Chains A and B, each alone.
Chain A
Amino acid sequence: MKRTADVRDLEVMDRLIRDEIEEALGPFRAGDSEKRLRGRIAQGPEPVRSKRFLERAAVPALLAAAAGAVVLMVVTRPSVPRPVDLADIVEVLGRFSTLARPAAEPSAATDLAAGRPEATAGLEKALAIAAWLKDEDERKAPLRESLGEVPSYSMEERMRILFKDKIIERALEIVKEKSKEA
């Protein structure tokens, strides 16, 4: 493709531009644009800086608002469902001493005295809490496994797991005995 132009073509172009400028400059020179400009300036300069500040601040402010909304959503979102309230836990812990005793001990007599429905309700609550605690551990387990490492538990965590297993085991034994008695 030809990248140069003939001198005559350039002259035609220059003449066109010159004519356009001259035609436009006539009214510009004759008009009162200078007077109007001085009048506008005499009224005071336009608040260029404040406008620019607002323009600059608009985008960061929108980004900050969006980030804040996301943070609020994350913070206010319920993290883990709580099927058992604190009163139930206290009640079950209180009953644990009873559950930990052998079945042949006077607890059976106490249960019989108190009535079977109450003991069954306590067992059901203990089972529910144990199941919830186990579900919670199972929810945590995949996160640890996803890291590609063997989960390592502290002594306290191991004791907690054993403690829960013992509760379930003991509760199942009691249920089994009760069903035999029935």
Chain B
Amino acid sequence: MPTDEEARLFEDMMACREVIFRICLGFTRNPADAEDLCQDVYLKAYGRLAGLRQPSSVKEWLYRVARTTCLDHAKRRRVLRLFESSGRPEAALDPRTPEASALTKERLSLLKAAISRLPEKQREVFILREYGRLSYEELGRAVGAKAGTVMSRLNRARAAVARWIKEGGT
């Protein structure tokens, strides 16, 4: 039976569901997997809520749980991805015209490929910032680095991804 304090902290965590879902989406690149992973993050966080040392920073702690859970998931998926034939960001298709849909699909494939090609530290910073919309301070605390370091990593990652999309994956 959770205490009142734990129940309050859990409600604070639930207010971040969309942020956590977006982070999971950035790592998994698939909405269904992101939703499952989001649930895993919350179940893991809830199970460890009693051990939280600083209740005031529950959101940042939740971001760290989400990061580690997503990285663990990515490690498990790494072998399986070798056997997947193509990307799966089909859920974000533009339904207006077939031409636009095809173009969006192609660009999303490029986006996925560009993100997957990033070094791990740049990739996690890129996803946490671009998908989770974390501030630089939150980002630094989530990955355990200074704000200047994460800004540098983020700039390099953004430039690499944008260039990859522009050049069509060449």
Residue of B nearest to A28 (CB): B21
Report the minimal beta-carbon distance from A56 to chain B, rounded to whole angstroms: 15
Convert B130-170 into 0s and 1s, putting 1 for each residue whose CB lies closer than 8 angstroms to a CB of A: 11000000000000000000000000101101110110000
B131 CB contacts on chain A under 8 angstroms: 17, 21
Tell me whether A48 and B22 are in contact (CB under 8 A). Answer: no
Cα A92 to Cα B43 with chains together (Å): 80
A25→B17 CA distance, assembly (Å): 11
Residue of B nearest to A1 (CB): B163
Given contacts A24-B25, A24-B92, A31-B35, are A49 and B47 in contact (CB under 8 A)?
yes
Contacts of B130 in A (CB 8 A): 14, 17
How far does the alpha carbon of A3 sit from the alpha carbon of B108 in the complex, in Å? 22
How many residues in A have their beta carbons less than 8 Å from beta carbons of B? Answer: 34
Instruction: Using CB atoms and an 8 Å cutoff, list the residues of chain B in contact with chain A.
Output: 10, 14, 17-18, 21-22, 25, 31, 34-35, 38-39, 42-44, 46-48, 89, 91-94, 104, 107-108, 111, 130-131, 156, 158-159, 161-163, 165-166
* B14 and A34 within 8 A (CB): yes
Q: Specify which chain A residues have a CB less than 8 angstroms from the CB of B158 in the assembled complex.
A: 5, 10, 13
A33 to chain B: which residues have CB within 8 Å? 17, 35, 38-39
Chain A proximity of B118: nearest CB distance (Å): 12
**Which residue of chain A is the closest to B34 with respect to CB atoms?**
A24
A6 to B104, CA, bound (A): 20
Q: In whole angstroms, what is the CA distance A129 to B48 when docked? A: 72
**A40 and B39 form a contact (CB under 8 A):** yes
List B contacts of A24 (CB < 8 A). Answer: 21, 25, 31, 34, 91-92
Of all A-B residue pairs in the complex, the 7 with the closest CB atoms, nearest first, are A23-B92, A5-B162, A20-B92, A9-B162, A24-B31, A48-B47, A45-B47
Give the Cβ gap from A33 to chain B, nearest Cβ, in Å.
Answer: 5
